[in-house]
Amino acid sequence: MRHLLSAADLDRTTAIQILDTAHELARLTERGVKKLPTLRGRTVVNLFFEDSTRTRISFEAAAKRLSADVINFSAKGSSVSKGESLKDTALTLEAMGADAVVIRHGSSGAPHVLAHSGWISSAVVNAGDGTHEHPTQALLDAFTLRQHLREGKGDLEGVEIAIVGDVLHSRVARSNVLLLHTLGAKVTLVAPPTLLPVGVETWPCDFSYDIDEALTNKDAVMMLRVQRERMNAAFFPSPQEYSRRYGLDRRRMNLLKPDGIVMHPGPMNRGLEISSEAADSEKSVIVEQVTNGVSVRMAVLYMALGGNEISGDAQ
């Protein structure tokens, strides 16, 4: 694997290989080996043009646990705010000898441009581009589902998942639909008609406007954040109305299978798409998703950079 730009880049074998590598890395971390020498001497640049807390910290922790040198670049306070182009930023990173660039950008397709422009020779990992894709989020979600529903092994054949909320603006939903389909899971998207993208009927999933029906007997529900920063119009009458029609509360959560799980990529709008009661319930794996994100991103960096053999020798 050279770049990771889209969940569609991953066939079932490669996706399972990443999940298995992440599983192995998580096991080592649990054993107390927090740092592996695998990427010693390599440089990973986190190039973040959009705000982020958990994804940036997660990639930073992942790279550091593999002993890479990490450079954090955020557009605010950099020459980007003086109007420097993506091309000039890329040329600077190349001149500094970056081996991998992890990019988050407000424009859909920016990671693709970076990977295929010829400006840089490093591996490119998409950490979220506009409303397009967020493949490492989909991988960490698949990892979390696999831990809970498949004892951390194999694919997700036959697993049934509802993804609920602002699908229109969600790169998390797009990447998850693609990856979960590749892994054999059955996805139902649930949203008001205004928050489903045009052409959703061509996606490899079902869709519904009825949350209660869609959640019944599912293995998992993934709630999406209402992305108000990407909304330029009124997509629903009021927050109260949205919450009543599409919010996850305890009653709805209990429609899932008895061992069904509740997921959310964060950051959550508590009281809007999810109640605190559901977010903090025994069914919620939201905090585990964050933990799993580090192992999965370690696996992605490891595979993109072709690191040395994974071994449990601490440095």
- Residues forming contacts to ligand NCD in the complex (CB under 6 A) are 54-55, 128, 134, 137, 171-172, 225, 227, 265-266
Nearer Cβ to ligand NCD (55/243): 55
Rounded least distance, CB 295 to ligand NCD, Å: 15
Q: State the minimum distance, in angstroms, from the CB of residue 172 to ligand NCD.
A: 5
Nearest residue (CB) to ligand NCD, 122 versus 137? 137
CA pair distance 110, 5, nearest whole angstrom: 10
Looking at beta carbons only, is 134 or 218 nearer to ligand NCD? 134
Q: Residue 224: which of 200, 248, 193 has the closest Cα?
A: 248
Q: Identify the residue whose tokens are 């600077």.
A: 92
Nearer to ligand NCD, 190 or 255 (CB): 190
Q: Report the DSSP pairing between strands 123-129 and 160-164.
A: unpaired
Q: Least distance (Å) from ligand NCD to the CB of residue 229?
A: 9
Q: How far is the CB of 169 from ligand NCD (least distance, A)?
A: 8
Q: Nearest CA to 247 among 176, 191, 197?
A: 191
Q: How far is the CB of 306 from ligand NCD (least distance, A)?
A: 26
Residue with smaller CB distance to ligand NCD, 186 or 225: 225
Q: Which residue is nearest to ligand NCD (CB)?
A: 225
At its nearest, how many Å lie between ligand NCD and the CB of residue 257? 25
User: For helices 171-182 and 12-30, what crossing angle results, to 10°?
Assistant: 100
Structure tokens at 97: 């000898």
Q: How far is the CB of 94 from ligand NCD (least distance, A)?
A: 26
- Cβ at position 292, least distance to ligand NCD in Å: 12
Nearer to ligand NCD, 6 or 55 (CB): 55
Q: Please identify, using beta-carbon distances, which residue of 135 and 265 lies nearer to ligand NCD.
A: 265
In terms of CB distance, is 10 or 255 closer to ligand NCD?
10
Sign, CA dihedral 254-256-262-264, equals: negative
Residue 259 burial (10 A CB sphere; 0-12, 13-18, 19+): exposed
Please list the residues that pair with 187 across neighbouring strands: 161
Q: How many whole angstroms separate alpha carbon 192 and alpha carbon 91? A: 43
